[in-house]
Amino acid sequence: MDGAQTPVTAPVLILLGPPGAGKGTQARMLEEQFGLVQLSTGDLLRSAVAAGTEAGQAADAVMKAGGLVSDEIVIAVLTDRLADADCAKGVVLDGFPRTTAQAEALDEMLARSGQTITAAISLEVDDVKMVRRVAGRFTCGDCGEGYHEDFKPTKKPGVCDACGSTSMTHRADDNAKTAMSRLDAYHVKTAPLIEYYEQKAALRRVDAMGSIDRIGQDIAQIVRGA
Ligand code: AMP
């Protein structure tokens, strides 16, 4: 779909940070608190892989290796999703942009509807600890609630606190080896976006090594003041 038709008119938040920084968790909290729509390009790509679409077939091997899917594919997938009516409520981008080309494409997409980024929130973490964070993650296969073996275990082993499901899933790329590649990709391709948004005066930094709730409060304060 043509990006010119994107109906987004409300806040556009970006969450920046290495894998395991908590982008998905915080995006879900923002969704609940502010009625925004979480747009995770990782989730969109995983759906495309599961559905066996052309984009999914092209993305599959790259994702398994912990590399970055091509800008062309990711921008197309995101543009398509942004055009859905629910995105008019405002969006929180989780995992996009990851390259300067993607950031520029997003700016152009928004400019066509007279918009700019509301804030790019950088989740600042200790990288070395990220690999452990990523390797311990799992998700409820039914409602999507995220957990972690050490930092956010389910109250009852194997049972989702939110919906009671026992269908827990573990992402294929959430292992120590792939996590290292994803961290490398972050440093080389994505970290330069911190300066990109700093120059646009859109960057907000948050210490993301503390508790999930405290980080959420810091982010909520930024969103209210934006
Ligand atoms: P995530 O769920 O955000 O950790 O993304 C999982 C994987 O999907 C990444 O390791 C990449 O292979 C791919 N991916 C997600 N978002 C992007 C993006 N914006 N650009 C390139 N690849 C992406």
CA of 130 to the centre of ligand 1 (A): 16
Q: How far is the CA of 141 from the centre of ligand 1 (A)?
A: 19
Please tell me the predicted confidence (pLDDT) of residue 97: 98
The answer to whether 204 is a known catalytic residue is: no
**Percentage with pLDDT > 90 across the chain:** 79
Is the minimum distance from the CB of 38 to ligand 1 under 6 angstroms? no
Catalytic option among 28, 46, 81, 98 = 98
Q: Mind listing the pLDDT tens digit for each residue in 67-95?
A: 999 999 999 999 999 999 999 999 999 99
- Ligand 1 site, residue 186, Cβ cutoff 6 A: no
More confident residue, 175 or 5: 175
What distance in angstroms lies between residue 94's CA and the mean position of ligand 1's atoms?
Answer: 9
Contact 133, 223 (CB under 8 A): no
- From the candidates 28, 46, 81, 137, which is the catalytic residue? 137
- Alpha helices, DSSP H, located in the chain: 23-34, 41-51, 54-65, 71-82, 100-111, 127-135, 176-185, 192-199, 212-225
Which tens digit of pLDDT belongs to each residue from 153-172?
999 999 999 999 999 999 88
For residue 98, give both structure tokens: 């990851």
Closest-CA residue to 162 (of 143, 178, 180, 148) = 143
Give dist(CA 75, CA 91) in Å, integer.
Answer: 16
Give nearest CA residue, ligand 1 atom 2: 42
Which pLDDT score is estimated for 10?
A: 86
132 is an active site residue: no
For residue 41, give the ligand 1 atom closest to its CA.
Answer: 16
Q: Give the model's pLDDT for residue 151.
A: 85
Q: How far is CA 155 from the centre of its chain?
A: 25
Distance 68 CA to ligand 1 centre (A): 6
- 111's tokens: 């400019």
DSSP assignment, residue 70?
A: P
Lowest-pLDDT choice from 169-178, 182-191, 213-222: 169-178
pLDDT tens-digit series, residues 2-55: 444 444 458 999 999 999 899 999 999 999 999 999 999 999 999 999 999 999
Evaluate whether 105 touches 6 at the Cβ level (below 8 Å).
no
Query: Which segment of 98-102, 126-130, 153-157 scores lowest on mean pLDDT?
Result: 126-130
Average pLDDT, rounded, for the chain: 92
